[in-house]
């Protein structure tokens, strides 16, 4: 199996007529992982002919709707397509119980499903593996402003969002998740990356590309481009030229990058 990322959805959080929401299918070192479950990831996997039984794990970086909205339908698709293997699901700890309740509200009861969902907390302190793939999480400041405004009113809600690094077979893949600032990428990029999937809905392109100039990243795949930036995409691409020798791809739904 060639190491690759298939972009199931590349939209930002706004509704779109031609882009689906955030979801990546990663094939690496013989394992298949789904990073984020923006809708309609289940439909897209089916259209692409992906066997639902082949997905080894799901990692959800945070629970904004455009990153998790397709999760119940993904679980239903796996049920109706007769998945039998246990499904590890890494998600921020605070979201485990609400997601369990969400599935029950959709009548996707534990006793109904022919496979077991293995709920696992996603955190910087966790040692996480899927087969030979090491999974590392790095907290971002994406939800900091929401936390400042709403934590007192909703004390039971966690405000954790993460970027992800996958390592196996001497290769490393970074996924920014959603950022609060380009500086959130610092720990993710402290080791060489063969591919960095970087969002461009919550950071400024000039700041992001200047930051990446000196980072050991071979290939940058730009996704999650905000609608205002799409309107001036030529200017954004021009700003990326400062990356010089690094390869830069502005990805669209269904694109595949091998690394």
Q: pLDDT tens digits for 31-53?
A: 999 999 999 999 999 999 999 99
The domains of the chain are located at 4-258
DSSP string, 122-156: E-TT--EEETTEEEEEEEESTTHHHHHHHTTT-TT
Catalytic residues: 66
What's the pLDDT at 126?
82
Token pair for 84: 């039998």
Token pair for 215: 């980072």
Summarize the confidence of residues 251-257 as an average pLDDT.
Answer: 98
Of 62, 67, 38, 89, give the one whose Cα is nearest residue 158. Answer: 62
Q: What is the pTM of this model?
A: 0.96
Token pair for 106: 């959709």
| Backbone Cα Rg of the chain | 18
Q: pLDDT tens digits for 202-246?
A: 999 999 999 999 999 999 999 999 999 999 999 999 999 999 889
Q: 240 in helix, strand or coil?
A: helix
Cα distance between residue 132 and residue 117, in whole Å: 20
Summarize the confidence of residues 67-77 as an average pLDDT.
Answer: 98
47 Cβ partners below 8 Å, 6+ apart? Answer: none
Q: 197 in helix, strand or coil?
A: strand
Q: What is the CATH number of domain 4-258?
A: 3.60.15.10
Summarize the confidence of residues 167-196 as an average pLDDT.
Answer: 98
């Amino acid at each position: 199996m060639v190491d690759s990322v298939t972009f199931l959805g590349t939209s930002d959080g706004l509704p779109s007529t031609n882009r689906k929401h955030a979801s990546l299918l990663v094939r690496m070192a013989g394992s298949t992982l789904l990073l984020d479950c923006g809708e309609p990831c289940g439909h897209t996997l089916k259209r692409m002919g992906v066997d639902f039984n082949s997905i080894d794990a799901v990692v959800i970086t945070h629970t904004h709707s455009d990153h998790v909205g397709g999760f119940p339908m993904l679980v239903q698709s796996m049920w109706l397509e007769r998945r039998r293997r246990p499904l590890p699901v890494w998600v921020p700890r605070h979201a485990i119980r609400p997601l369990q309740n969400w599935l029950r509200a959709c009548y996707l009861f534990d006793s109904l499903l022919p496979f077991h969902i293995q709920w696992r907390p996603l955190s910087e302190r966790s040692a996480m593996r899927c087969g030979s793939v090491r999974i590392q999480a790095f907290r971002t400041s994406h939800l900091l402003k929401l936390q400042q405004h709403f934590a007192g009113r909703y004390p039971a809600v966690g405000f954790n969002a993460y970027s992800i690094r996958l390592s196996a077979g001497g290769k490393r893949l970074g996924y920014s998740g959603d950022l609060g600032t380009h500086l959130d990428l610092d720990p993710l990029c402290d080791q060489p990356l063969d591919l960095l999937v970087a969002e461009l809905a919550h950071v400024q392109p000039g700041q992001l590309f200047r930051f990446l100039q000196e980072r050991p990243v071979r290939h940058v795949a730009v996704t999650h481009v905000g609608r205002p930036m799409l309107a001036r995409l030529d200017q954004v691409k021009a700003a990326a030229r400062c990356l010089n020798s690094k390869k830069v791809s502005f990805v669209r739904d269904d694109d595949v990058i091998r690394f």
